[in-house]
């Protein structure tokens, strides 16, 4: 089983990033849970979610010892880097996580300028999809095609297929950037 924490400010799309991963896992026939947590502020407050997925039954959907952390901003990096299990991976959005990223010797820290990449491809609101795709590639459990199909299925169910081309462009960018 895999456990991933997605964290950032409200409005950065971290809850959607986690939802994409959980839906990709379900789309590929695995069990998945998605547990959001957010402050009372809609934008600018804290937001995070825990995603667990795998072939086996998930007995506890709560945050335990994540294999991966996506930190979309500095406060999230500071708050969650210590709970990643040894041997885990932290993906930091270097547009908003500054300073020393090498805070632990027992995890791998990858930096990715998600906001910059989103602007470069003409999708300024796509940083969260770029990050979601990068985590999917780092986890190594699903191909880019699996990710795109699962993501598109999720957004179609929400009636948001009009963003499909933009989301696919952002997903491919993030997947290929790692």
CATH number at 123 reads: 3.40.920.10
| Total number of domains in the chain | 1
> Can you give the pLDDT at residue 45?
75
What is the mean pLDDT of the segment spanning 20-33?
A: 97
**In percent, how much of the chain has pLDDT > 70?**
97
What is the mean pLDDT of the segment spanning 115-139?
A: 97
> Can you give the pLDDT at residue 9?
93
Span of 30-39, 117-126, 135-144 with lowest mean pLDDT: 30-39
> Can you give the pLDDT at residue 86?
98
Among 86, 93, 87, which Cα is nearest to 6's? Answer: 93
Our measurement of the distance from residue 32's CA atom to the centroid of its chain's CA atoms, rounded to an integer in Å, reads 14
> Can you give the pLDDT at residue 7?
97
Among 40, 41, 37, which Cα is nearest to 14's? Answer: 37
Q: What are all long-range contacts of 118-125, with beta carbons under 8 Å and residues at least 24 apart?
A: 118/170, 118/173, 121/169, 121/170, 121/173, 122/169, 123/166, 123/169, 123/170, 123/173, 125/13
Q: In this predicted model, what pLDDT tens digit does every residue of 56-89 receive, in sequence order?
A: 999 999 999 999 999 999 999 999 999 999 999 9
> Can you give the pLDDT at residue 99?
87
Mean pLDDT for all residues in the chain: 94
Our measurement of the distance from residue 114's CA atom to the centroid of its chain's CA atoms, rounded to an integer in Å, reads 11
Residue 107 has pLDDT above 70, yes or no: yes
Residue 42 has pLDDT above 60, yes or no: no
Q: What is the span of the domain harbouring residue 105? A: 2-177
pTM, two decimal places: 0.94
- Which segments of the chain does DSSP mark as H helices, in order? 14-27, 74-80, 114-120, 127-139, 144-157, 164-177
What is the mean pLDDT of the segment spanning 120-140?
A: 97
> Can you give the pLDDT at residue 43?
62
């Amino acid at each position: 089983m895999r456990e991933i924490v997605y964290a950032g400010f409200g409005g950065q799309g971290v809850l959607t990033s986690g939802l994409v991963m959980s839906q990709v896992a379900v789309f590929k026939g695995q069990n998945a849970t998605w547990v959001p947590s957010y402050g009372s502020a809609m934008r600018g407050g804290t937001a995070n979610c825990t995603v667990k997925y795998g072939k086996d039954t998930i007995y506890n959907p709560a945050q335990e010892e994540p294999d991966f952390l996506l930190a979309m901003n500095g406060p999230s990096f500071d708050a969650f880097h210590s709970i990643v299990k040894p041997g885990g991976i932290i993906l930091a959005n270097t547009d908003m996580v500054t300073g020393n990223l090498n805070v632990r010797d027992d995890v791998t820290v990858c930096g990715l300028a998600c906001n910059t990449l989103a602007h470069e491809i003409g999708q300024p609101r796509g940083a969260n999809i770029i990050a979601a795709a990068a985590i999917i590639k780092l986890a190594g459990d699903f191909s880019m095609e699996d990710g795109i199909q699962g993501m598109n299925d999720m957004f179609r169910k929400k009636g948001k297929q009009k963003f499909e081309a933009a989301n696919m462009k952002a997903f491919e960018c993030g997947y290929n950037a790692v």
